Amino acid sequence: MAQWNETFSMPMYKAWVPEAIRPWIYLVFAFIFQLTGTYYLGSLSQIMGTTSLMREDVMMIGMMGVVGVNMPFPFLFRFKLRFPNHYLLITAAVVIIVCNLLTLYVTWVPLLCAISYVAGFFKLCGTFECFSNIRLWISPKQNFGVFLPSIYIVILSAVSTSTWLSQQITYYFDDWQMMNWLTIGLLLTMILVLRLLTRPFMFMKPLPLVSMDWLGCLLWSALMLEFIWVFTYGEYYNWWDSSLWRGVVLSIPVTLLICIGRMRRIRHPYIEAHLWNHSRLWPILGLFFVAEMMNATPRVMQNTLTGGVLHWGMLTTSVFNLWEVVGTVLGCCSVMLWATRVKRPFTQLLTLGFAALLAYQIMMYFMVSPDVNIERFYLPTVLRSAGYAIFFATMTLYLKHLIEFPQFFMALTMSGFIRNGVAESVCSGIYSFRMRYNIADNLMRDVPNDIVNVLLASVKQSYGMMCLIGSLLLLLMMVYEFPRVRNTVKMIPHLNMAARHAYRKISHEKESA
């Protein structure tokens, strides 16, 4: 067996493959994996029309794929140390192909959710295996300030590209299933290339898959499923008016207690308990939620403006996805430049990223009009996607410096609880409820009883609310940059410390009495 070292090489290739193209092939493979899915939400209306599924059903299936992408992180290195790269990539591709084929013929929503979850699980497995083999090619000095933004250029760009592709293919072929067939064709081509160019190779003796908490993975997945279901179906069931909705809400704390109990009881939990007590992790999770909150507004407010007022079709709005790719590249390159050249505190870069997200809200607030041109949407879209990319890459980079490597992938899963699906569904549910409230309120007020005027007023009110919230948060982030304020905040005891101190004081007084 070949000896492993820290110099870049790709010994899984056959000898006749030119070394210059080897890493580029794996980079293309990673992009293909990120393009894959089951139900592509860019073709939401077409899927609803041909399958007779509700909008909430299709959204739920899509969100389960996002959950599946988040859950394999603690297992990824165990897979890499057990199976050759050749087999891992082929297995991931075959499973996603099977999931896509099943998606075309299965109509039962729970089974479709399970299929989407499995597809997302193996999507991340394949992507990780590709990037782990070209890590030293991307950054020979192992600088994560270069490596992580490079990963997110591929990941975030592929998300926007897959949406754009699904919209284009659905429009020209008049069939949303053609995107699934394209995915199957790309994966079959990948398998063929792997069979021709690579061979099974491992740099060390395979390690057995023991001490892996599969049940814990399923329990945490169930908790995310319940959160997403509550906010995805909240409007449909009219929130607390439904006994089913109330039952799911009551099941959330039960599932959470089971997850915590198992995490504390077993020797090798899916997520180690001490990570939840990390003092700096909770602010990171809070910032991830804030970024998702600011990035989720286009799914409700902008879509209401472009579809309900301007009556733009799917093909017209698909161009926004290409501008999102431009913003993603700009944002990730800004993080690279900041980490390698500027070398200033990450908090300042986060402030700039949040300012870009807020700029989108403010520009959209002043653009709400029945005669706005599509070109005016381009700059806000670039700013929003750039700000989101800056937040996404910087927070992950900060997490890498904060958490030791063995627990880093567990921390990624913890941040994914907020970032991958939960925050998006929570914010979309809240925005949908707020839009419905604004529309009903405007119909009862002095707004002219014209649905276009009512929609315009409601969208403007929703954007105005986000401008106020975002401005307050940006002000707090800017004030925190002053050393005196930051040092004062750090001196404030945490709530758990204050509670322990109070508990000890009460116990001491009881013993004295």
> What is the predicted pLDDT for the residue at 457?
83
The full length of the chain comes to 513
**What is the tens place of the pLDDT at every residue in 319-331?**
888 999 999 999 9
For residues 241 and 234, give the distance between their C-alpha atoms in angstroms, rounded to a whole number: 10
Residue 106 lies in a domain: yes
Please identify, among 212, 243, 260, the residue that sits at the C-terminal boundary of a domain.
212
Number of domains in the chain: 2
Q: Are residues 25 and 174 in the same domain?
A: yes
Q: Are residues 300 and 156 in the same domain?
A: no
Residue 264 lies in a domain: no
Please identify, among 144, 177, 212, the residue that sits at the C-terminal boundary of a domain.
212
Residue 246 lies in a domain: no
Q: Are the CB atoms for 428 and 231 separated by under 8 Å?
A: yes
Average pLDDT, integer, range 11-19 = 84
Q: Are residues 323 and 447 in the same domain?
A: yes
Residue 227 lies in a domain: no
CATH of the domain at 176: 1.20.1250.20
**What is the tens place of the pLDDT at every residue in 242-266?**
888 888 889 888 999 988 888 888 8
> What is the predicted pLDDT for the residue at 58?
87
Q: Are residues 412 and 480 in the same domain?
A: yes
> What is the predicted pLDDT for the residue at 500?
60
Average pLDDT, integer, range 425-436 = 79
Q: Are residues 188 and 290 in the same domain?
A: no
Residue 495 lies in a domain: no
Question: Which residues, at least 6 apart from 140, have a Cβ–Cβ distance to it below 8 Å?
Answer: 8
Average pLDDT, integer, range 361-366 = 89
Q: Are the CB atoms for 144 and 400 separated by under 8 Å?
A: yes
Q: Are the CB atoms for 281 and 414 separated by under 8 Å?
A: yes
Q: Are residues 327 and 194 in the same domain?
A: no
Least Cα distance to 428 among 462, 473, 400 occurs for: 462
The tokens describing 356, both together, are 């870009």
In the chain, the percentage of residues whose pLDDT exceeds 70 is 91
Say whether pLDDT at 485 is over 70: no
Residue 498 lies in a domain: no
Q: Which helix (H) or strand (E) holds 118?
A: helix 109-133
Average pLDDT, integer, range 183-210 = 85
> What is the predicted pLDDT for the residue at 147?
86
Task: Determine the structural domain holding residue 344 and report its residue range.
Answer: 269-485
Where does the pLDDT of residue 454 fall: very low under 50, low under 70, confident under 90, or very high at 90 and above?
Answer: confident
Q: Are the CB atoms for 41 and 59 separated by under 8 Å?
A: yes
Question: Which residues, at least 6 apart from 234, have a Cβ–Cβ distance to it below 8 Å?
Answer: 245, 429, 432, 433
Residue 374 lies in a domain: yes
> What is the predicted pLDDT for the residue at 5?
44
Residue 234 lies in a domain: no
- Could you tell me which residue, 484 or 176, shows the higher pLDDT? 176
| pTM for the model | 0.85
Q: Are residues 25 and 139 in the same domain?
A: yes
Please count the other Cβ atoms lying within 10 Å of the Cβ belonging to residue 177: 18
- Per the prediction, the chain carries an average pLDDT of 82
Q: Are residues 200 and 288 in the same domain?
A: no
> What is the predicted pLDDT for the residue at 184?
92
Compute CA distances 334 → 35, 291, 338, 422, 480, whole Å: 24, 17, 6, 27, 22
Please identify, among 170, 190, 212, the residue that sits at the C-terminal boundary of a domain.
212
- Could you tell me which residue, 340 or 278, shows the higher pLDDT? 340
In the chain, the percentage of residues whose pLDDT exceeds 90 is 12
Phi, psi of 198 (to 5 degrees): -120, 170
